[in-house]
Chain A
């Protein structure tokens, strides 16, 4: 019974993605501004033949329905079209930029977990103490500060005034590691290039903090409230009466159960992390997918927009799906 429901949920992804594809397609065609014009650099002095040649090349002269058909059949073959601006296949462009975005999202996630889990646990264990109040104050600040402003402030403090961290980019060219996965930190570890590791970490810190601060705040609060609930439960009292040390009670018994709703939230945040980092990427000059999407929208580069948005939607939908399925296994009382 459960298996069928899971299958149903997975299969619904396909029509959802199709609906998104059509929606994106229609929305883009509604945007003012001519892609051919932008391709020509908006110079205005091009011949009719050149315009027509470009239109033919990118199927822009076909009726809308035909274009939609080409796009959708292309998806099933893994062909997302060719970028208007760069004349490269969209798939290649996206794959080039994807590791940077994933690295940033992972960095933000790791930062938020490192910060949130200790603070959430300690705040719950020592409720209403100074640490608790400070932790909650920090959580409030994290939610209230806009990420882009935080990024700018961090740059001003650390890069400009204190001069200990770089201002933008992923790495200094001399220290770029060998390309194995595309993620600089991972690549430098894999190729034992410690200078590159230090350099890429230095570049990763500030963007991760800006992006991860809000996530850390949310995770702290959810963890704290679920820990509070769990610590009042009977099995925790039992563990204590059994004579187990407080440390084991907290970590082995309470934390495990408190993490269940937290994992749900983290799963949803992953989708948001990947989707919401456009601004951070712009501020820090991070060559990722987000910046690609923003510049493509401004350049009316339809294939790239379509491909990138489809990818985002796929990641989002998949993350939600995994979280839903995971949750039914972790908490047997819920159904899909």
Chain B
């Protein structure tokens, strides 16, 4: 059985380099390019830091995020009059340390982002690849269904479903995945349709390679780049969406720290204690910003001519 290894990039330098190289050498090459691209590198470092902070939260957080202390309620951050070093970023409306809650809240955001994109990316890519390859009624019904799902504004849909199944982490993931697979579906389907017209597929078919093998071993490695870039960019989007739902009270329920609900809780104290709302938002901003930087950098590295929606 002949195995064809043809990479998508047709710059000859890359083919010459990658031809016959071992897997880990390719990874080394990729990492070298990543370091050279400043923005992507910065994004990657920050994202990694957040992930480490989330994992080692119990060791890093100065206080227990759930411990309320009414004496210290609404204390300002340490650089403002009235604040002390004990509560570095201030305390919220029932005296919980904001810094600790931000550290623990990063767990929720990162987990939601990664898991949602992982599951919906997997399902969407799988369905899209099969739909794009085989076409026919399977493709037609799935595409219609996908269009139907897309005609709802996302937030309303999410609010609806959360009202039905109730809040909670697992429900949140399911509902977020419910609609997000569509983007991956459309991307992989489109790429599959355009790749299928190329000659290497025809060659593989002529050689008698089975359909499944063609999809997974020939075509998928070529389209995985655009899917990866889309996945990275969607993580940030889902983190914001989760924060929005928590903001409305429909996502992660208190007292579990989640950045969205922290911002919502601070709304009542906007006029006097601005830090309760603002500071969790800054954390959210930094995380999503670095994820987007990383995604952009990945797009530049993996294929500078790639155009996504």
Give the distance in Å from the alpha carbon of A47 to the alpha carbon of B80 in the complex. Answer: 58
Residue of A nearest to B290 (CB): A144
Whether a CB of chain A sits under 8 angstroms from the CB of B193 is no
- In-complex Cβ contact of A144 among B152, B247, B289 (8 A): B289
Stretch of B47-55, B202-210, B270-278 on the interface side: B270-278
A297 neighbours in B (Cβ, 8 Å): 159-160, 163
Residues of A within 8 A of B116 (CB): none
Q: Is the CB of B153 within 8 A of A149?
A: no
Given A16-B147, A16-B151, A156-B270: A149 in contact with B284 (beta carbons within 8 A): yes
The answer to whether A27 and B289 touch across the interface, beta carbons within 8 angstroms, is no
Q: Across the interface, do A141 and B281 meet the contact criterion of CB distance under 8 Å?
A: no
Given the interface pairs A275-B156, A297-B159, the reply to whether A146 lies near B244 with Cβ below 8 Å is yes
Question: In the complex, which residues 258-313 of chain A have their Cβ closer than 8 Å to any Cβ of chain B?
Answer: 271-272, 274-276, 278-279, 282-283, 293-294, 297-298, 309, 312-313
CB of A90 closer than 8 Å to a CB of B = no
List residues of chain A with CB within 8 A of the CB of B284: 146, 149
Instruction: Please count how many residues in chain A sit with their CB below 8 Å of the partner chain's CB atoms.
Output: 42
A275's partner among B154, B236, B281 (CB-CB below 8 A) is: B154
- Contacting A at CB under 8 A, from B171-212, are none
Interface contact tally, CB-CB below 8 A: 114
Contact A279–B278 (Cβ < 8 Å):
no
Q: A27-B160, A31-B164, A149-B263 are in contact. Are A278 and B155 (CB under 8 A)?
A: yes
Interface flag for A148 (CB, 8 Å): yes
Partner of B292, one of A32, A144, A271: A144
A294 and B163 alpha carbons, distance in the complex (Å): 11
Query: With an 8 A cutoff between CB atoms, is A160 at the interface?
Result: yes
With a cutoff of 8 Å between Cβ atoms, the chain A residues found around residue B289 in the complex are 140-141, 144
Distance, CA A306 to CA B147, complexed state (A)? 20
Determine the chain B residues whose CB is within 8 A of the CB of A153 once the complex forms.
277-278, 281
Docked complex: A84-114 residues within 8 A CB-CB of B: none
Query: Does any Cβ of B come within 8 Å of A30's Cβ?
Result: yes
Residues of A within 8 A of B151 (CB): 16, 20, 313, 316-317, 320
Question: Which of B148, B248, B271, B293 is in CB contact (< 8 Å) with A140?
Answer: B293
CB-CB under 8 A from B156, the residues of chain A are 275, 278, 293, 309, 312
Q: Is the CB of A276 within 8 A of B154?
A: yes
Chain B residues within 8 Å of A19, by CB: 148
Contacts of B153 in A (CB 8 A): 271-272, 274-276, 312, 316
B contact set with A: CB distance below 8 Å: 147-148, 151-156, 159-161, 163-164, 166, 236, 240, 243-244, 247-248, 263, 266-267, 270-271, 274, 277-278, 281, 284-285, 288-289, 291-293, 296
Q: What are 22 A-B pairs at a CB distance below 8 A?
A: A27-B160, A31-B160, A32-B164, A140-B289, A140-B292, A140-B296, A145-B288, A146-B285, A148-B244, A152-B270, A153-B277, A153-B278, A271-B153, A274-B153, A275-B155, A276-B153, A278-B159, A279-B155, A294-B159, A312-B152, A312-B153, A320-B151
A-B complex: 5 closest residue pairs judged by Cβ atoms: A275-B153, A149-B281, A144-B289, A144-B288, A146-B240
List 12 other contacts, CB 8 Å, given A152-B277, A298-B163.
A16-B151, A27-B160, A31-B160, A31-B163, A143-B236, A144-B285, A149-B243, A149-B281, A153-B277, A282-B248, A312-B153, A313-B151
